[in-house]
Structure 1
């Protein structure tokens, strides 16, 4: 997996803080839990020890994934965004051709996607369908419910 992960500066900082928390707080807590369980006797029949070891393994996997994501992360600056077409970090206002509903989305990385705040992932079906479109173009999005047509009304940074 050598895909670059595009993130805003704020998201990159959040990722770094989360990694530091995992390494500085969660990892020592997991080690303490293992040590406490080890003191309770025979390791062959110690469910608490097994659970602590499993939790530690999951934590280490999460840390490894976070380190990998940070290594692949590239910061995108909103001031450098080309608003002539839909791209990552642009805000796009679209009309659903069938329902005539108008919605504004910001196209973001998977890490930043949050539908409630109007941020959709660049890898989502709608995000992929809108990428590269210009104002006035119709995007055909393949959704589980079928093909949905969106008309691009506006693009901004």
Structure 2
């Protein structure tokens, strides 16, 4: 049997996933079942786009529930005391400047389960995070991204 993937995350990230799971199970699932019931009442299911749409949504919701349950079951909580303060690691925020004259950017490195680039949270599996992990303030590092290679200097780790 294959080993299940471990999902490193903060306690807050795990709680967010648990809230989403609860919402899907208690609210969304019931809404979708109700949509299916209503769509069935429209008659012929073979030409019923409402029914097809509701069934697709049901499949998505059930798939997401399964994914969340797996992530929560295999979560590895990153403890604050496991992180050294002077090295970029999972759970840390890192500020860097793109060289030679770029703007400062700050990201928090999190597990893939709680990554949200719009909130400044990048996955530890991302090219930027992989390049930064294990580095210290002042380090200048090449970072290979889908848009090409850039060089950055770490200015702060929190």
| TM-score normalised by L of structure 1 | 0.83
Q: How far does residue 102 in structure 1 lie from its aligned partner after superposition?
A: 3.5
User: Which of residues 135, 147, 150 is equivalent to 1:148?
Assistant: 150
What residue is the counterpart of 1:82 in the other structure? 84
User: Which of residues 19, 22, 35 is equivalent to 1:17?
Assistant: 19
Runs of 4+ in structure 1 off by over 6 angstroms are none
Any idea what the Cα deviations from partners look like across 1:14-40, whole Å, max 9, x if unmatched?
A: 111111111111112211222222233
What residue is the counterpart of 1:124 in the other structure? 126
Against the structure 1 CA distance between its residues 150 and 69, is the aligned structure 2 distance closer, same or farther, given a 3 Å change threshold? Answer: same
SS at match of 2:47: coil
Structure 2 gap segments, 5+ residues each: none
Against the structure 1 CA distance between its residues 44 and 140, is the aligned structure 2 distance closer, same or farther, given a 3 Å change threshold? Answer: same
| TM-score normalised by L of structure 2 | 0.82
Tell me whether 80-89 or 105-114 shows the greater mean CA deviation.
Answer: 105-114
Tell me whether 38-47 or 119-128 shows the greater mean CA deviation.
Answer: 38-47
When the two chains are superposed, the root-mean-square deviation of aligned CA atoms in Å is 2.3
Q: Distance in 2 between matches of 1:84 and 1:38?
A: 60
Q: Distance in 1 between matches of 2:102 and 2:51?
A: 58
* Equivalent residues, number: 156
Structure 1 gap segments, 5+ residues each: none
Tell me whether 58-67 or 138-147 shows the greater mean CA deviation.
Answer: 138-147
What residue is the counterpart of 2:43 in the other structure? 41
Tell me whether 108-117 or 124-133 shows the greater mean CA deviation.
Answer: 108-117
Any idea what the Cα deviations from partners look like across 1:76-123, whole Å, max 9, x if unmatched?
A: 122431123211112223232211544333222234334454433222
Q: Distance in 1 between matches of 2:46 and 2:105?
A: 58
